[in-house]
Amino acid sequence: MAMDDDVFLEGFSRGELSDFAHLDHVRVVYLYTLRAGRDAAVELTRAGLRALTGRLGVPEKYHETMTVAWVRLVSARAAAEPGRDFAAFIEDSPRFLRKDLLEDYYSREVLFGAEARTRFVEPDLRPLA
């Protein structure tokens, strides 16, 4: 059984989730977007990911452009049909299961460049939502 949304977000915000996969990242963004809006979702996701990577001893893994881009994409889709639970959202939007989705918007050179890791960089292939 999936962890309750409130418990999940609390564990994430404290950097306490022991297993944090791609789908968990999308879930965090979706839930924060529904509860607080896009801008707050960026801040909350950023803080949680920094806490998590810090606790794991890999703060250098935090990537600003990926964080902001995922929030922008997920929040645009979530806004189109608000009020659904995460399972329904992901069932209707399976593209968010793709770990490489950002490569539809960014060249690898830009996305994985040093600048994109530390500050948000707009995509070079096509605009985000």
Residues 36-95: tens digit of each pLDDT: 999 999 999 999 999 999 988 999 999 999 999 999 999 999 988 777 899 999 999 999
Residue at 101 is within a domain = yes
Residue at 16 is within a domain = yes
Q: Tell me, what's the pLDDT at 79?
A: 87
Look up the domain containing 10 and give its range.
Answer: 5-118
Residue at 48 is within a domain = yes
How many structural domains compose the chain? 1
Counted residue by residue, the chain has a size of: 129
Residue at 129 is within a domain = no
The CB density around residue 67, as the number of other CB atoms within 10 Å, is: 20
Mean pLDDT value across the chain: 93
Q: Tell me, what's the pLDDT at 3?
A: 84
Residue at 125 is within a domain = no
Token pair of 101 as six digits:
């989705």
Helix axes 22-36, 64-80, angle to 10 degrees: 60
Query: Which of 37, 46, 38 lies closest to 67, judged by CA?
Result: 46
Q: Tell me, what's the pLDDT at 1?
A: 45
Residue at 10 is within a domain = yes
